[in-house]
Amino acid sequence: MRKFLVNVNGTSYEVEVEELKGDVKPAAIPAPAAPQPVHAAPGAAETISAPMPGTIVGVNVKVGDSFKRGQVLLVLEAMKMENEILAPRDGRVVNLNTQKGASVNSGDVLIAFE
């Protein structure tokens, strides 16, 4: 073991690091799965889920509204950034499971559409 002093934002930390000898292969790091915000729901409806936790700051559709592929349906604020939730295809809103000001978690169903 070797000791090192590491400074992070003005705070010093003493760390111990093990030195490996010989033929050492790096550990495989699995690639993160891409978020899949569109899911098949029972029946003909599909759903759009929150890709990350945040707050809904804009709702641009209501139940019964038709929309086109690429249209902004919702705006989700996460980490002080506004993220537009776009329509994956043409459709019609069947159920709206959120409202402006609502806090959502990653994977929460926001809209059901057909």
- CATH label of the domain that carries residue 90: 2.40.50.100
**74 neighbors 82 (Cβ within 8 angstroms):** no
Provide the residue range defining the domain that includes 64. Answer: 38-113
Classify residue 25: in a domain, yes or no: no
Closest residue by Cα to residue 94 from 55, 48, 59, 54: 48
Tokens (6 digits) for 12: 């010093």
Classify residue 80: in a domain, yes or no: yes
Classify residue 7: in a domain, yes or no: no
Classify residue 47: in a domain, yes or no: yes
Rounded percentage of the chain residues whose pLDDT exceeds 70: 82
First-to-final CA distance of the chain: 60
pTM of the complete model: 0.61
Does residue 17 register a pLDDT over 90? no
Confidence grade of residue 36 (pLDDT, cut at 50, 70, 90)? very low
d(CA 72, CA 88): 10
Q: Give the strands of the sheet with 66-67, arranged side by side.
A: 38-40, 46-49, 109-113, 91-96, 66-67
